[in-house]
Structure 1
Amino acid sequence: MIKSKQKNMRTIGKTTTALLLAMIIGGTVMAQNYKSKKDKDPEVVASEMTARLDKALDLSANQEAEIQGIILKSVQEGKELHKELNESSREEHKARMDEHRKATDEKIMAVLNDEQLVKFEKLNQEKEQRRAEHEAIQELPPDEAAKKMIGKLDEQVGLSADQKKDLEPLLTEHVSQMRELKDSEMSKEEKRQRSNELRREMDAQLKKVLTEEQYKKHKEIRPPKHGHH
């Protein structure tokens, strides 16, 4: 039981770090009322994901209805799979969830036309690139991770030299805090609450450093998601 608890804590800690990195690389700033997708109602998640795909692929009404059904089933099955794999190794968990995502993608692709398929595959390639970037940054020391994150943010909104200087210590500190959370003795729920607090703090700090236009643009740069991720 002790080993299982320690393993779960390591997984939670790595997840909180990845979420912080995703805020910058994926262009997502967490709102004050942030609620994890896995805690949302599956129908709400399916509706939101379908809406994003519709925006990216211009789905017909029939496609939208069919894809929403596919995603809803995927989210429901994904929740059960996550519970089933709770005691599994991180490698097995990742492999099984990747299989689940791939199966969902294949079902969605069967509904799309040729033009939409090209766009969908491009979205997948961009998603995999972001995931690889997330993993690479997690291996860096906090100060180097912060510089990488600033570089991504600069690509998105165009930062001034002063803004980069202001953001570097803030992001370095937040990366450090997220990683310290990984090794804390907090419960799973306490870690989740604390990680949400850190993300809200990060959002508030970004809002102070960025101009109103930059902040708005950063919030809008949110890649369409699909499947159970």
Structure 2
Amino acid sequence: MRASVIVFPGSNCDRDAAVALEAATGRPPSMVWHGDAELPKSDLIVLPGGFSYGDYLRSGAMAAHSPVMREVISRAKAGTPVLGICNGFQVLTEARLLPGVLMRNATLKFICKDVHLRVERTDTSFTGRYDKGQVVKFAIAHKDGCYFADDETIGRLEGEGRVAFRYCTPQGEVTTEANPNGSRNNIAGIYNEARTVLGLMPHPERLADPALSGTDGAKMFKGLVESLAA
């Protein structure tokens, strides 16, 4: 599987994503600078976490108009899987590849901690290594992670099964207390209509090695390899 990681000025999780991808695929991904107009042939494109362009204007707003994003959007619309993590999720909404917006956390504070997520479906390239309803532990590190969309959009996401992960308790209960940022319906990640684009605020790459206190995130990358290499 050939993967590409897009690097924006201000990205700070691009190397983490690259390490997780290499561990899963056995080969280093292509690191593609935001100013490049072309992408190498890729089976997976990753938009990593960080603070692209210093989060000026809105988180992800400037990065969504980087030259390389024209090609990312084109590839995504043609069916190439795209994974946007944290700031990458923000970029995907700003690029209109995913609906809704990521707003300031309800606490108005930056939050950095491990959280529990409930896997909502497993019939996608991103979640094939999980069980439906499984509770996994990922890390979050964001100030603008509150997912918001209007009632119609939320209804469509729920009705079409496009919610990928929800913040939950360790027992899998979806509660207000388990929601770290105020996201509607405890949404931590969503798919596009074809479920080939996934945006999520938590970081799977930060829990992808035993030395990082967990490997739940590694299953996402291993599942991608199994699905996309098939």
TM-score (ref. length: structure 1): 0.28
Instruction: Tell me which of the two structures has the higher relative contact order, counting C-alpha pairs closer than 8 angstroms and 6 or more residues apart.
Output: 1
**Structure with the higher fraction of residues in strand conformation:** 2
